[in-house]
Structure 1
Amino acid sequence: MMILSWRRRRGGHRTSKPAFVEDNPGMDLAIPTHFLCPISLDLMKDPVTLSTGITYDRESIEKWIEAGNEICPVTNQVLENFDQIPNHAIRRMIQDWCVENCARGMERIPTPRIPVAPRDVLEICSKIMTATQRGDHKKCMELVEKIKRWGRESERNKKCIIENGSGCVLSALFESFSSISIQEHEYLLGETLSLLIWMFPLGSEGQSKLGTAPSLRCMAWFLKERNISSCQNVILVLKELFSSDEKHVNAFAEIEGVEEDLVKIVKEQTCPKSTKASLMVIFHLISSSTSSEKTISIFLELGLVSLVLEILAGPERSMSEKALRILDSICNWEQGIKKASDNALTMPVLVKKILRVSNLATDFSVSAILKLCKSQEGGDHQQVEALQLGGFHKLLVLLQVGCGEKTKEKVTELLKLLNQQRGRLDCFDSSMDFKYLKRPSL
């Protein structure tokens, strides 16, 4: 027997009220040595035995193996295999011992679920493919729910599910039932999307299935339905899909009404995660090589410039970076420059964000200001406004504290443009010194 103070055990089983500690502070609890994991020295919750015959807690031995070790920690023998056989006898003994000592603060350790094995995932994937080919909605739903349950049980299960091709199989299921009837198979399609969001990257085959016309139409349909959970899942899938391959962007943009749905999601800001993902989807739609003037026009008519400027009024760094990225992309288009120039907040916000948020935000701000100042219509006015707002000084400070080469070139070009306007401003004070300013910490 090994005597350990239950109060001092590290990482042991937590109890809601360790009565023996409060009522009998000097009492120690005797824990049988063979109930302890040889690695963590904690009471085993899920005892498993290796090929060497030594029993460990599953979590501890998995970490040992994942670290690249190929020997048994106790015997130092090379492991013939990495199989972990549940030791039900020890586990039942531990549970009985916990029950016997419940009056001393112990709680019964629940029976652990057996982790999913690769063969289990491969088997269920095979069944999904067969059911999908038959159009068996009921069987597919049963199998999808089973995968969902597995994923909920542990991160280890999720990893196993991802590594054994589930993403590609579920993408094929999604495409197939989207082609048949979205309304009829709404629940199955929604549940499939909820699984796909944690399976990226899917690989080229899985992405191609999600990038087909039926799949994209189905996702657009979910956006219009305004179900919060489904919308969030769609947005997250689209963000990953567009980030991986922009060839799907144009196909999605051709679906009527998607611009309005995306702008609504950003306006409502029901969830920061989906709002950020929506901003990235919008960015891809207006900045990819396949973007059309029609898409840009629709976004501008929906008030995208005002919307991103409103977001930039907030303090959230990641949101500001994404909003500035969009504003910079808008300024790649003449109609976008005009819309941005017409908004009285554009230049003040852009100048303010230099050296205020992050290096990335500063890069986008400088890029957008340069595009506005170089525009054929209203460029001179933008230059004067940038000067009045202290843009010249901020750019000098930016050169002083340092920035990337591309941004440095843009800053230099901007300074030359603004320098031409200095004579028109009585308010310019060349004695101002900004050496005390520091680059924002990241």
Structure 2
Amino acid sequence: MGRDDLYITVTSFFRCPISLDVMKSPVSLCTGVTYDRTSIQRWLDSGNNTCPVTMQVLQSKEFVPNRNLQRLIQIWSDSVARRQLDSEPAANAVVVPSQDQVKVLVKQLDNNCFSSLTKIVCFAKESEDNREFLARMDGFLNVVFDFMRNAESDIKLIEQVIKILDLMQRKILDKKPLLESNCLSTILLVLQRGSSDSEIQSVRLLESVAVDGESKLKIAEKEALLLELVKSLSKEKDPRLIEASLSCLIVITVAKRVKTKLIQSRIIPELKNLLSEPNMTVSIIEKSLKLLETLSSCKEGRVEIWRDTILLKAIVQKVLKVSSKATEHAVTILWSVCYLFRDEKAQEAVVSSNGMTKFLLLIQSNCSPAVRQMSADLLKIFRVNSKSCLSSYDTKTTHIMPF
């Protein structure tokens, strides 16, 4: 099926049977019927135990992401967006300057900065060859770095500089100037006052310069910058910014002191909010769990996690429900808190959230050996501390014994 065919009409299987809207996150029940995740979760949370379409009593309330349908919906959505873009009038279209014109624009940067930078951004966007041309131009990157160092309060001008640097990330061989205090302060200014697109570009730029332990620490040591990255995780923010910030934080959160600073900056409650939000993308959930897994490797992180039963339940809920990556991260967090740290309150929260059943299913599944071993370890702990019928379950068996 071509993209143009998908654009012609919204087929019925793109729509949720409950809301009748195009599904954002299609998931299938055990009956085989697919719904939007938010709609079916609301139906189940209301106490219903039937499939809304077939009215069959559900043998299991677990649902599985329908990846094929999600891809088809994305193709259709992209097609609609492209048609709308093509239909817009080109009256305001910016003419891409030639290479000779760009040379002149670079020389004029001191006199007409904003106009010249805007045209250079347009040139850089056009092609990889154009970005290569700018990177080879003698002195161009030095001029751009000077703008970063000497930035004042003109946020619009700074945003153009950030756009150029973001476009040319792969062409900048020496990124050390971006780690200078003045440059990091400029990035901080964009995160505080810039547009959503500029914030995303700034965060991507930060991640691109965090290439070794020293550069990661330099970024983390600027506490105001770290705090803005944490604020960017608010679920009210642009999902693209949330995802970019999570990726950046995962990269720089290596040293123990960085983990401690993040925990003190209240990052764990923000991650809890993301995991509790039903409409978050698979990628955001995976990255949130990955960052939590990193934070759980230090004592302060584990303490924050086991103290929050709502967070623990949200982590258990993601096991076998989002993706294999999400499951691996979630199980590692639970293993770290419940098995290594051995907190009984945390263990009770996991058991009450149907965690034992999920670990049993994981042992029987095709998951990685590491996840299977961690699941077995957790079941042994629960077997010791529980009087349930699972106390006689042998984790070495290859099947689930009937109750």
Q: TM-score, normalised by structure 2?
A: 0.64
CA distance in 1, matches of 2:159, 2:136: 15
Q: Is the contact between residue 269 and residue 275 of structure 1 (CA under 8 Å) also seen in structure 2?
A: no
Q: Hey, what does 2:168 align to over in structure 1?
A: 199
Question: Quick one: structure 1 residues 163 and 245, their matched pair in 2 at CA, closer, same or farther if it must change by over 3 Å?
Answer: farther
Q: Hey, what does 2:385 align to over in structure 1?
A: 424
Task: Kindly indicate whether residue 366 of structure 2 is the aligned counterpart of residue 397 of structure 1.
Answer: no
CA distance in 1, matches of 2:184, 2:381: 50
Structure ranking higher in helix proportion: 2
Equivalent residue of 1:345, what SS?
helix
Q: Is the contact between residue 210 and residue 216 of structure 1 (CA under 8 Å) also seen in structure 2?
A: yes
CA distance in 2, matches of 1:126, 1:364: 52
Within the candidate set 287, 303, 311, 1:346 is matched to 311
Task: Kindly indicate whether residue 223 of structure 2 is the aligned counterpart of residue 239 of structure 1.
Answer: no
Q: Hey, what does 1:27 align to over in structure 2?
A: none
Q: Hey, what does 1:331 align to over in structure 2?
A: 296
Give CA-to-partner distance per residue, 1:325-345, whole Å, 9 cap, x none. 111111011111101111112
Q: TM-score, normalised by structure 1?
A: 0.59
Kindly name which structure, 1 or 2, has the bigger radius of gyration based on alpha carbons.
1
TM-aligned CA deviation for residue 268 of structure 1: 5.7
Question: Quick one: structure 1 residues 185 and 246, their matched pair in 2 at CA, closer, same or farther if it must change by over 3 Å?
Answer: farther
Q: Is the contact between residue 148 and residue 182 of structure 2 (CA under 8 Å) also seen in structure 1?
A: yes
Matched to 1:418, the amino acid is L
Within the candidate set 187, 204, 211, 1:219 is matched to 187
> How many residues are aligned here?
305
Question: Quick one: structure 1 residues 381 and 268, their matched pair in 2 at CA, closer, same or farther if it must change by over 3 Å?
Answer: closer
Q: Hey, what does 2:236 align to over in structure 1?
A: 269
Question: Quick one: structure 1 residues 125 and 235, their matched pair in 2 at CA, closer, same or farther if it must change by over 3 Å?
Answer: farther
TM-aligned CA deviation for residue 423 of structure 1: 4.4
Within the candidate set 122, 127, 133, 1:149 is matched to 122
Q: CA RMSD in A?
A: 3.6
- Counting aligned pairs with the same residue, the percent is 17
Q: Hey, what does 2:12 align to over in structure 1?
A: none
Equivalent residue of 2:232, what SS?
helix
Task: Kindly indicate whether residue 323 of structure 2 is the aligned counterpart of residue 358 of structure 1.
Answer: yes
Q: Is the contact between residue 384 and residue 418 of structure 1 (CA under 8 Å) also seen in structure 2?
A: no
Q: Hey, what does 1:415 align to over in structure 2?
A: 376
Please list every run of 5 or more consecutive structure 2 residues that lacks an aligned counterpart in the other structure.
5-89
Question: Quick one: structure 1 residues 185 and 176, their matched pair in 2 at CA, closer, same or farther if it must change by over 3 Å?
Answer: farther
Please list every run of 5 or more consecutive structure 1 residues that lacks an aligned counterpart in the other structure.
1-10, 12-108, 437-442
TM-aligned CA deviation for residue 312 of structure 1: 1.0
Give CA-to-partner distance per residue, 1:395-436, whole Å, 9 cap, x none. 2322333123xxx224314413431431432334579x9989
Within the candidate set 259, 264, 271, 1:308 is matched to 271
Which one scores higher on RCO, CA 8 angstroms, separation ≥ 6?
2
Q: Is the contact between residue 347 and residue 386 of structure 1 (CA under 8 Å) also seen in structure 2?
A: yes
Q: Hey, what does 1:379 align to over in structure 2?
A: 343
